[in-house]
């Protein structure tokens, strides 16, 4: 589905144009065409493949979706694949935005992604002095917004981690914490797979040998790279913290366990003493004078209580109870 | 065993040819010969070694099998070793496809691999405009199909991992999960050994200094590399997840254990109280008025039940039972 | 808020100047202007953006705060972002110092940072022979003091670690140690995120290809890099030690646990023997001669004590009690 | 001790020669001398140091043994140190083969190594067309055989690992498995220290900037490197598997433990019920009608057995027994 | 404190000279001055700073001590910082040796280090043909002896590790092993911090782009690097082994624990059976024929012993006791 197909001159929107007119506008100087597609079928895409002379391998990648993020040069054109990520009720959702940018054109192909990028176009059109830098600036603007949408995802991961951390030192929540940590680990890996390759790839768009197309806009791509790098560092922290948290969780289980053991052992000792005393006065010796005392029985009970109580106080003091 | 030996001109199949004719066809311009061998013996291979002037070390590698995947340059020829992997009933099966590609020829040598590559030839012959790029394209086509066959293997590993994950938070399945995780780890390592060196090696077939043979087909080899890189990333995720899963499994054992302990401790306390009461009324004091009560015995039993019941309710409430 | 705006000539302070005069002084040879801002608003900063022709992306970074530390070149100017860290009652506090340095000017922008950098200016003014090296030296002086302020933070982390280590081999402190280790890990990660990117970035200010601005002051930037590298190594040691300490802590829990178990088992055995003896003499056999002995009862008690005592001594000797 | 000292011309053995004659033969074109020493003393080696003008540091390394494997260039000569490894009854044994190769000579110095390298010489002499490539080929042949001798060592390690793996999921073998894993880890580290530095060093003998001596024999050294790389990958797999196996072993201990606990708890419950029943009927209430029943006692015993049996069946069903 | 200040010509010692004479001797060709300082104060060092025109940052580093080992170039002079390590009764002791080497001079500054380097000077003076290579050779000789002193430290660490390993599979030593492992880890980290940066830094003194000063002595610095690399590898092995040993230790605790459990469980079962039997014959049923048997009591005791004995044998056979 074609979302838009617009021609720009000197950074200013001319008009919506038709497929057939694209070549006219591209041939004008200081003019470029920006086409946005959404879940196109193979046929639709192949029309534009012919118009813009796209490489078949790139077209295939744009069509299939679920590619690794990457930046590839085909002659003087660039092909960029990014993953669009959003979190919906704890579930990470993936889409793909593939961008073809070359002299006089930008073609963006969005796949499986709920939220569109029309706001990017609107913002660009409000800043014609920037937009007149041409296709490379559009490429930057699209990558920038894709990357900006990673931040709320990252914050959600961090919020979840903090919520687990609050729980982790609370007794009895080990099982729940563990499941949440495991799920969080998986989600973090997902995001990492979107971010790391893109960071690596985008580092080729500034600095050393740079594709001609984005020679003038290097500073902008460095900014994108910088954001990606920051996200990467945050993800690495999350991962490392999760690993530590899993270990801490295991230790907490062991510590709780050992406290339970001590309490259990204390009560066992108390009960054992009472049992032994009862057993002793239950023996059938003929000559056990205390058995015949008037107050023998109550005294025995009192003695039991006293012994148990003494033990109880002792365990209390050593912190076992 | 010779599977095929075919001459191509301008990307179109000419005919099956005989060993003796190979030199004739190679000397024609725009012509190349594509030979496919399957588990050849040393003698058979040495015939072709003479015809194509292959290096003895490469021939040895092709013959022996079980090599590390690699891409080697011998003068203007390329020697590529790939591992062919398939999963059969949970067992990873290895084969080897060694490819010699040079000016005017491609020689593929398949070892211990169940499934052949005749479909590659068929596909290539259907696209003569691509095939006329010559031996480098055939090399690409063969590598591409080898790599494509890694994907179902990868999916099998991922499916197994997901199936273990479903099991891991279920009580009592720790032992089975552990064995499956361990096996999965081993299998993942196997696949990794096929993928990582090939990814590393194939990265030399595009970009910087490229062998002359594949100068024109760089974009294709970048695509192969990209696929390998994607597989590598997926494998790394699997490995990391397995390591986490093993730790989580250990924690789950500890958590289950501690729950068993609590339940055990609760019942021990309940039984101990009953035992003490029975012990008390079993003492032989002369003056124990309740022993002579008409309803002494039933009251004692009721009291035992009440005490135990009270404890039971208490443990229930604290979640120990 | 403008903290200072001072012009220097040949390393000597001329006078406080006004925004409008900046251009005058910059155009003189051997003259430069050093402006310090503190939590400026967007408008204030944009004034200086116009004066010094700063890049909009850099200005945005300086304004927002919470950036990853970095060193960026914009033409012949440098833009440096550093994190200012202090520890206040166990809490790591972050600020940001962004520095723009170009021909004839230095502009420092401090965000959320409690302690200012006026002492840097004072120190620089006391050494005019160094300060006459110009903006690059001011840049160095500011980076140097930012880095110097990491050392007390580092020492606090190390002191905390040592205090935990003293505690870790003491029984019964596992839970507290664990929480402290976990918190320390988090804080260490925070500091690491301030140090590592800055170390990496500052390594571009000396050695190979160096920005023109700091060509003469390379040795100074190497010194900054060297300090950062030292801090990095110390942080890595802390992290590795924390990981080991968490493992050791878990082992200590297990060891304590196993000692508790042995003691528990010993007492259970002692009690069990007494219980069995009492049970035996509580049996109702008609012919149990010892029951009728005059000294039967005391002898029985003595025997119980002897048996228990023998067991106690035995366990003592094997170290279980 | 001098093992051999032979002159070769055009790849063919001329004759055994004496030390004094070495210079004569070296000066002839297409001629080289191959000297093999075995545990030489300092004096012996210094004779050859003078003849071949070897560097004192290299000679010292050759003499002392226990060096890190390495490849060093001294002018147009090469100095290669390799570790010769064999496994004898589970013990890794180290020797050293140091090789000096320069224009017109090869000098190999074997230290503490049981098995000699005379078979290498024999093999080389059978292939004069290869041997005529000169000292570099001899160097290759020696390195190749050293590396080939790593393979059986590697296989022994893998066999041991597999044997441990068979044991690891068997109950009650945890202690033995652990000791074996630990020993295997140590042995693997030993082999790794022989392989990794040599792989790294030998990678400088082909590809980019190559010592003049081995310019013609690059393909051979690439083959050696390839073998070393394969061994390295296998060692890394072994190490990673050992680490996993140690974790799995710990988990198996915990799982076994928890099964023992459950069984223990079950029997404790069964015994406790019997004890309580016996305690109840051992109470001294006057009015306990069942005590006077004719069949009271057998019924009581039956009831005990029934209660215990019911519990037993229940635990059986839940898998605790 | 000045230890020595000696002039050398053509590698031969001329005489002890005074500070004032240094410039005279430096200006002669083939002459250089070697000054050794020990814990100098700021003033003393600043005298030499003026004489040799040392950079203030380097002087500061030499004065302060506790620097990261490094090799820095200042113009045509080199500044090397090394850590001098010795082990004294299990405590790692740090000193620092900073070396300034430039055309015509070497200045060594020793800080906090017990043992001096006068033996280096003596050895150098015995080999004038080497010493005439000038300051670079002195630099090498000093670095070489610093590195050589790491070997006994390393051996001490390895001896300690082996001693712990002997202990680790012995029961009941887990706590002691753990503390020793933890201390060893810390000490190993200390040594690592002395070795790793120096290895990295010294790798710039040979091979590619080399400071002019040590162009002629590259082979010597490669030897130093080689030693450092060997130490590094050994340290890495120690660290990895410690990590494994800590895990193994934890596993051993768990295994011991589980064996204690089994023994405990066995005795509990044996006692429980005796208790139940005593309880049964302690019941008050009127009709319990065996109570009236003449041999009832001894038979009962025999039966108890038999039951317990049977259980004991059974547990013995299954290895629980």
pLDDT given for residue C96 in this prediction: 92
Mean pLDDT of all residues in B102-127: 89
- The whole-chain average pLDDT of chain D stands at 90
Q: What is the DSSP string of B193-260?
A: HHHHHHHHHHGGGSSSS--GGGSTTHHHHHHHHHHHHHHHHHHHHHHHHHHHHHHHHHHHHHHHHHHH
Which residues of chain A neighbour B220 with C-beta distances below 8 Å? 57
Asked if A278 and B283 come within 8 Å (Cβ–Cβ), the reply is yes
Show the tokens assigned to B67.
Answer: 């090599």
Does the pLDDT value for residue D312 go beyond 90? Answer: yes
**Across the interface, which of B55, B197, B282 has its CB nearest the CB of D279?**
B282
Structural domain A1-127, CATH architecture? 2-Layer Sandwich (3.30)
Chains with at least 3 CB pairs less than 8 angstroms from chain C: A, E
pLDDT given for residue B307 in this prediction: 93
* E2-15 tens-digit pLDDT: 888 999 999 899 98
Mean pLDDT of all residues in A12-18: 90
pLDDT given for residue B24 in this prediction: 87
Residue E288 touches chain C, beta carbons under 8 Å:
yes
Mean pLDDT of all residues in B155-169: 91
pLDDT given for residue B264 in this prediction: 80
Asked if A274 and B279 come within 8 Å (Cβ–Cβ), the reply is yes
Residue E170 touches chain D, beta carbons under 8 Å:
no
* A172-202 tens-digit pLDDT: 788 899 999 999 999 999 899 999 999 999 9
Mean pLDDT of all residues in E81-92: 85
Asked if C246 and A241 come within 8 Å (Cβ–Cβ), the reply is no
Does the pLDDT value for residue D246 go beyond 80? Answer: yes
pLDDT band at E66, cuts 50/70/90? confident
pLDDT given for residue E83 in this prediction: 93
Give the Å distances, CA to CA, from B195 to B69, B221, B228, B235, E81: 8, 15, 6, 9, 44
pLDDT band at C317, cuts 50/70/90? very high
- The whole-chain average pLDDT of chain C stands at 90
HSE at residue E70, side-chain half, CA atoms within 13 A, is 18
pLDDT given for residue D27 in this prediction: 86
Q: What is the DSSP string of B153-187?
A: HHHHHHHHHHHHHHHHTSTT-HHHHHHHHHHHHHH
Does the pLDDT value for residue C197 go beyond 90? Answer: yes
Distance CA(C55)–CA(C74), nearest Å, equals 7
**Across the interface, which of A246, A281, A293 has its CB nearest the CB of B251?**
A246
* A55-90 tens-digit pLDDT: 989 999 998 877 789 999 998 899 999 999 988 777
Residue E203 touches chain C, beta carbons under 8 Å:
no
Q: In the block, which residue shows the tokens 């002395």? A: E194
Q: Assess contact for A34 and A57: CB atoms under 8 A.
A: no
Least confident of D77-86, D146-155, D227-236, E251-260: E251-260
* C246-260 tens-digit pLDDT: 999 999 998 888 888
pLDDT given for residue A320 in this prediction: 82
**Across the interface, which of E248, E261, E288 has its CB nearest the CB of D257?**
E261
Mean pLDDT of all residues in C97-117: 89
Mean pLDDT of all residues in D176-202: 92
- Domain residue limits, chain B: 1-127, 256-318
- Output the 3-class SS for chain A: CEEEEEEEECCEEEEECCHHHHHHHHHCCCEEEEEEEECCCHHHHHHHHHHHCCCHHHHHHHHHCCCCCEEEEECCEEEEEEEEEEEECCEEEEEEEEEEEECCEEEEEEECCCCCCHHHHHHHHHCHHHHCCCHHHHHHHHHHHHHHCHHHHHHHHHHHHHHHHHHHCCCCCHHHHHHHHHHHHHHHHHHHHHHHHHHHHHHHHCCCCCCHHHCCCHHHHHHHHHHHHHHHHHHHHHHHHHHHHHHHHHHHHHHHHHHHHHHHHHHHHHHHHHHHHHHHHCCCCCCCHHHHCCCHHHHHHHHHHHHHHHHHHHHHHHCCC
* B178-214 tens-digit pLDDT: 999 999 999 999 899 999 999 999 998 998 788 888 8
Distance CA(E179)–CA(C171), nearest Å, equals 13
Asked if D174 and E251 come within 8 Å (Cβ–Cβ), the reply is yes
CB contact burial E150-185 (16+ within 10 A = b; e otherwise):
beebbebbbebbeebbebbbeebbbbebbebbbebb
* Contacts of residue E250, Cβ cutoff 8 Å, sequence gap at least 6: C247, C250, C251, C254, D250
* D224-244 tens-digit pLDDT: 999 999 999 999 999 999 999
Distance CA(B153)–CA(B161), nearest Å, equals 12
Mean pLDDT of all residues in C292-321: 90
DSSP-derived letter for residue C206 is: S
Distance CA(D66)–CA(D59), nearest Å, equals 13
pLDDT band at C100, cuts 50/70/90? very high
pLDDT given for residue B93 in this prediction: 85
* C35-81 tens-digit pLDDT: 999 999 899 999 999 999 999 899 999 988 777 899 999 988 999 99
Distance CA(E254)–CA(C253), nearest Å, equals 11
pLDDT given for residue E23 in this prediction: 87
Best mutation target, C184, C243, C248, C250, to test chain A (most A CBs within 10 A): C250
pLDDT given for residue B92 in this prediction: 81
* E192-225 tens-digit pLDDT: 999 999 999 999 899 878 888 888 888 999 999 9
pLDDT given for residue D257 in this prediction: 86
Residues 293-312 of A with CB under 8 A from B: 293-297, 300-301, 304
Distance from CA of A304 to the nearest CA of B (A): 10
**Across the interface, which of D222, D269, D275 has its CB nearest the CB of B72?**
D222
Q: Assess contact for E126 and E8: CB atoms under 8 A.
A: no
CATH number of C256-318: 1.20.58.340
Distance from CA of A205 to the nearest CA of B (A): 15
Does the pLDDT value for residue E309 go beyond 80? Answer: yes
Task: For the beta carbon of residue D192, count every other beta carbon within 10 angstroms.
Answer: 19
Q: Could you give the 3-state DSSP secondary structure of residue D18?
A: coil
pLDDT given for residue E78 in this prediction: 94
pLDDT given for residue C4 in this prediction: 87
Which residues of chain E neighbour C226 with C-beta distances below 8 Å? 67-68, 70
pLDDT given for residue E239 in this prediction: 93
pLDDT band at A222, cuts 50/70/90? very high
Chains with at least 3 CB pairs less than 8 angstroms from chain D: B, E
Radius of gyration of chain B (CA): 35
Express as a percent the part of chain A with pLDDT over 70.
Answer: 100
pLDDT band at B170, cuts 50/70/90? confident
**Across the interface, which of C262, C284, C287 has its CB nearest the CB of E294?**
C287
Asked if B219 and A55 come within 8 Å (Cβ–Cβ), the reply is yes
Does the pLDDT value for residue D36 go beyond 90? Answer: yes
* D112-145 tens-digit pLDDT: 877 888 889 999 999 898 898 999 999 999 999 9
Distance CA(D249)–CA(D247), nearest Å, equals 5
**Across the interface, which of A230, A275, A284 has its CB nearest the CB of C275?**
A275
pLDDT given for residue C199 in this prediction: 93
Best mutation target, B271, B279, B283, to test chain D (most D CBs within 10 A): B271
Which residues of chain B neighbour A291 with C-beta distances below 8 Å? 283-286
pLDDT band at C318, cuts 50/70/90? confident
Distance from CA of D258 to the nearest CA of B (A): 6
Which residues of chain C neighbour A284 with C-beta distances below 8 Å? 281-284, 288, 291
Mean pLDDT of all residues in C277-285: 90
Pick the closest to residue C148 from C112, C195, C197, C78 (CA basis).
Answer: C195
Which ranges in chain E belong to alpha helices (H)? 22-27, 42-52, 56-64, 118-126, 128-131, 135-148, 150-168, 174-202, 218-281, 296-318
pLDDT band at E67, cuts 50/70/90? confident
Asked if B287 and A274 come within 8 Å (Cβ–Cβ), the reply is no
From B254, which residue of chain D is nearest by alpha-carbon distance? D254
Q: Assess contact for A117 and A84: CB atoms under 8 A.
A: no
* B286-299 tens-digit pLDDT: 888 888 888 889 99
pLDDT given for residue C294 in this prediction: 87
**Across the interface, which of B72, B185, B294 has its CB nearest the CB of D244?**
B185
Mean pLDDT of all residues in B34-47: 92
Distance CA(D140)–CA(A189), nearest Å, equals 45
Asked if A250 and B254 come within 8 Å (Cβ–Cβ), the reply is yes
Residue A275 touches chain B, beta carbons under 8 Å:
yes
- Whole-model pTM: value is 0.86
pLDDT band at C207, cuts 50/70/90? confident
Instruction: Check if D1-127 and D256-318 are the same fold.
Output: no
* A120-157 tens-digit pLDDT: 999 999 989 889 899 999 999 999 999 999 999 999 99
Residue D241 touches chain B, beta carbons under 8 Å:
yes
Does the pLDDT value for residue C89 go beyond 80? Answer: no
């Amino acid at each position: 589905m074609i979302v838009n197909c617009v021609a720009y001159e000197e950074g200013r929107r001319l008009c919506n144009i038709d497929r057939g007119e694209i070549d006219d506008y591209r041939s004008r100087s200081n003019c470029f065409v920006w086409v946005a597609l959404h879940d196109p079928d193979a046929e639709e895409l192949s029309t534009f493949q012919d118009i813009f002379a796209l490489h078949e391998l790139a077209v295939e990648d744009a069509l299939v979706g679920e590619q690794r993020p990457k930046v590839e040069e085909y002659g003087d054109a660039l092909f960029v694949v990014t993953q669009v990520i959003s979190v919906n009720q704890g579930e990470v959702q993936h889409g793909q935005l593939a961008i073809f940018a070359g002299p006089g054109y930008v073609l963006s192909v969005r796949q499986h992604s709920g939220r569109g990028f029309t706001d990017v176009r609107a913002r660009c059109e409000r800043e014609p002095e920037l937009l007149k830098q041409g296709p490379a600036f559009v490429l930057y603007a699209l990558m920038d917004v894709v990357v900006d949408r990673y931040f709320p995802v990252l914050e959600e991961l961090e919020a979840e981690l903090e919520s687990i951390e609050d729980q982790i030192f609370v007794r009895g929540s080990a099982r729940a914490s563990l499941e949440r940590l495991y799920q969080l680990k998986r989600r973090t890996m997902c995001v990492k797979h979107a971010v790391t390759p893109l960071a690596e790839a985008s580092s080729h768009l500034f600095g050393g040998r740079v594709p001609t197309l984005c020679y003038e806009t290097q500073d902008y791509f460095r900014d994108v790279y910088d954001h990606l790098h920051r996200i990467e560092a945050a993800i690495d922290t999350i991962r490392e913290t999760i690993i530590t948290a899993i270990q801490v969780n295991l230790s907490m289980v062991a510590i709780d366990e050992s406290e339970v053991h001590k309490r259990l052992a204390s009560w066992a000792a108390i009960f054992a003493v009472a049992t032994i005393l009862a057993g002793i006065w239950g023996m059938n010796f003929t000559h056990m004078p205390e058995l015949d005392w008037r107050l023998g029985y109550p005294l025995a009970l009192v003695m039991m209580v006293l012994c148990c109580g003494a033990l109880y106080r002792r365990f209390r003091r050593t912190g076992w109870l």
